[in-house]
Protein backbone atom coordinates (compact mmCIF):
# COMPACT_ATOMS: atom_id res chain seq x y z
CA UNK A 1 0.00 0.00 0.00
CA UNK A 2 2.97 2.33 0.62
CA UNK A 3 4.26 1.76 -2.92
CA UNK A 4 7.65 0.49 -1.74
CA UNK A 5 9.83 -1.51 -4.07
CA UNK A 6 11.73 -4.59 -2.86
CA UNK A 7 15.06 -2.99 -1.75
CA UNK A 8 13.41 0.10 -0.19
CA UNK A 9 12.84 -0.01 3.54
CA UNK A 10 13.85 3.39 4.96
CA UNK A 11 11.47 5.62 6.87
CA UNK A 12 11.87 8.39 4.28
CA UNK A 13 10.75 5.92 1.60
CA UNK A 14 7.82 4.92 3.77
CA UNK A 15 6.43 8.42 4.33
CA UNK A 16 6.92 9.85 0.82
CA UNK A 17 3.41 8.76 -0.22
CA UNK A 18 1.79 10.36 2.85
CA UNK A 19 -0.18 13.60 2.66
CA UNK A 20 2.45 16.36 2.49
CA UNK A 21 0.94 18.21 5.46
CA UNK A 22 1.57 15.15 7.70
CA UNK A 23 5.05 14.02 6.55
CA UNK A 24 7.16 16.18 8.87
CA UNK A 25 5.01 15.28 11.88
CA UNK A 26 5.28 11.54 11.15
CA UNK A 27 9.05 11.83 10.60
CA UNK A 28 9.36 13.66 13.95
CA UNK A 29 7.47 10.80 15.64
CA UNK A 30 9.78 8.24 14.02
CA UNK A 31 12.84 10.26 15.03
CA UNK A 32 11.67 10.43 18.63
CA UNK A 33 10.90 6.69 18.64
CA UNK A 34 14.37 5.99 17.19
CA UNK A 35 16.13 7.88 20.00
CA UNK A 36 14.04 6.95 23.05
CA UNK A 37 12.18 3.71 23.76
CA UNK A 38 8.56 4.78 23.45
CA UNK A 39 5.12 4.14 21.99
CA UNK A 40 3.68 6.09 19.09
CA UNK A 41 0.61 6.33 16.90
CA UNK A 42 -0.49 8.43 13.96
CA UNK A 43 -3.04 8.68 11.20
CA UNK A 44 -2.67 10.18 7.74
CA UNK A 45 -3.64 9.46 4.17
CA UNK A 46 -1.71 7.78 1.39
CA UNK A 47 -2.04 9.47 -1.99
CA UNK A 48 -2.62 6.63 -4.44
CA UNK A 49 -1.42 6.71 -8.07
CA UNK A 50 -5.08 7.11 -9.09
CA UNK A 51 -5.25 10.34 -7.07
CA UNK A 52 -7.54 8.85 -4.43
CA UNK A 53 -6.65 9.14 -0.76
CA UNK A 54 -6.40 5.99 1.36
CA UNK A 55 -6.58 6.53 5.14
CA UNK A 56 -3.87 4.77 7.16
CA UNK A 57 -3.41 4.38 10.91
CA UNK A 58 -0.24 3.20 12.64
CA UNK A 59 0.38 2.08 16.22
CA UNK A 60 3.90 1.15 17.23
CA UNK A 61 6.68 1.09 19.75
CA UNK A 62 10.44 1.19 19.92
CA UNK A 63 12.52 -0.71 22.47
CA UNK A 64 16.09 -1.49 23.45
CA UNK A 65 17.49 1.90 22.43
CA UNK A 66 19.49 2.40 25.62
CA UNK A 67 22.65 1.18 23.92
CA UNK A 68 23.89 2.92 20.80
CA UNK A 69 23.16 1.21 17.43
CA UNK A 70 20.80 -1.31 18.93
CA UNK A 71 17.09 -1.55 19.45
CA UNK A 72 14.09 -2.10 17.28
CA UNK A 73 10.95 -0.39 16.06
CA UNK A 74 7.74 -2.28 15.45
CA UNK A 75 4.49 -0.94 14.07
CA UNK A 76 1.15 -2.19 12.83
CA UNK A 77 -0.54 -0.38 9.95
CA UNK A 78 -4.32 -0.33 9.54
CA UNK A 79 -5.92 0.48 6.18
CA UNK A 80 -9.68 1.13 6.50
CA UNK A 81 -11.61 -0.13 3.49
CA UNK A 82 -13.13 3.22 2.57
CA UNK A 83 -11.22 5.75 0.45
CA UNK A 84 -11.43 9.53 0.46
CA UNK A 85 -11.96 11.24 -2.87
CA UNK A 86 -9.05 13.32 -4.15
CA UNK A 87 -11.19 16.39 -4.83
CA UNK A 88 -11.22 17.36 -1.18
CA UNK A 89 -14.55 15.81 -0.32
CA UNK A 90 -14.50 14.24 3.10
CA UNK A 91 -16.96 11.74 4.49
CA UNK A 92 -18.58 13.36 7.51
CA UNK A 93 -20.07 11.48 10.41
CA UNK A 94 -22.94 13.27 12.12
CA UNK A 95 -22.79 13.16 15.90
CA UNK A 96 -26.00 13.57 17.88
pLDDT digits (tens, 9 = 90+) for 32-45: 998 889 999 999 99
Residue 36 in domain: yes
Q: Give how far Cα 34 sits from Cα of 49, 57, 62, 73, Å.
A: 30, 19, 7, 7
84/68: higher pLDDT: 68
What pairing do the DSSP bridges indicate for beta strands 53-63 and 39-47?
antiparallel
Q: For residues 74 and 1, what is the distance between their CA atoms, to the nearest angstrom?
A: 17
Residue 24 in domain: yes
Residue 95 in domain: no
The alpha carbon of 68 is separated from its chain's Cα centroid by a whole number of angstroms, namely 25
Q: For residues 36 and 71, what is the distance between their CA atoms, to the nearest angstrom?
A: 10
How many domains are there within the chain?
Answer: 1
> pLDDT, tens digit, for every residue of 4-61?
877 767 788 889 899 999 999 999 999 999 888 999 999 999 988 888 889 999 999 9
Residues in a beta bridge with 63: 72
pLDDT recorded at residue 29: 94
Q: What is the pTM of this model?
A: 0.75
Amino acid sequence: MHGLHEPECGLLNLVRCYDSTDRNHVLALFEQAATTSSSFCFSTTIILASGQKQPVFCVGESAGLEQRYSGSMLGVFFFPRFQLEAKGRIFNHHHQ
